[in-house]
Amino acid sequence: KLYRNDLPSGHGYLTIETQGTISNRDGLGTFLTLIADQGGPAQTRQIIGGSNYLSQSELLAHFGVGNRSEPLHRLTVQWPSGIQQDFFDIPVNSRLLLVEPIPEPGACALVVVAVVLLPGPGSQFLRGRTRCDWQKCRTPMVNLAKVKT
């Protein structure tokens, strides 16, 4: 027999998949910090490949945000390469793909370019900024794409 729970939970979430470009393909070692309300507590996740013998952890970061419906205040992404990205006003109940920006020597260190496509019809823009230790960064710095659920 197969049992299925069809009861709606009513709780909000944010799920993030990382894709590295210079660190590693899956973004292993990336730290994600979510602050739902300005000045509120932080939730932190790290993308890890596994912690036991002959096993692998899910490569998604999942944040539970309770009964919240308004956008989340800030998401900070710290890539293993040292690049840090901050995103603001993140929509609740989203699944996002974050792609690590590719730095180039000699460009600006701050670029504000971010787009998020939400599940379902339409899209929204998500404000973001990227800070990196390199002299130059190629635009677009932030590449968020829709992930099918």
Express each pLDDT in 65-84 by its tens digit. 988 889 999 999 999 988 89
pLDDT higher than threshold 60 for residue 144? no
pTM over 0.85: no
pLDDT higher than threshold 90 for residue 4? no
pLDDT band at residue 42 under the 50/70/90 scheme? very high
Q: What is the pLDDT, as a whole number, of residue 57?
A: 81
pLDDT higher than threshold 80 for residue 137? no
Q: What is the pLDDT, as a whole number, of residue 132?
A: 47
Q: What is the pLDDT, as a whole number, of residue 41?
A: 93
Q: What is the pLDDT, as a whole number, of residue 11?
A: 87
Higher confidence at residue 148 or residue 32?
32
Q: DSSP strand E in the chain: where? A: 12-19, 31-35, 42-46, 60-66, 72-78, 84-90, 94-99, 110-111, 115-116, 124-125, 128-131, 143-146
pLDDT higher than threshold 50 for residue 136? no
pLDDT higher than threshold 70 for residue 118? no
**What is the DSSP pairing of strand 60-66 with strand 42-46?**
unpaired
Q: Which of 41-45, 54-58, 106-110 has the lowest mean pLDDT?
A: 106-110
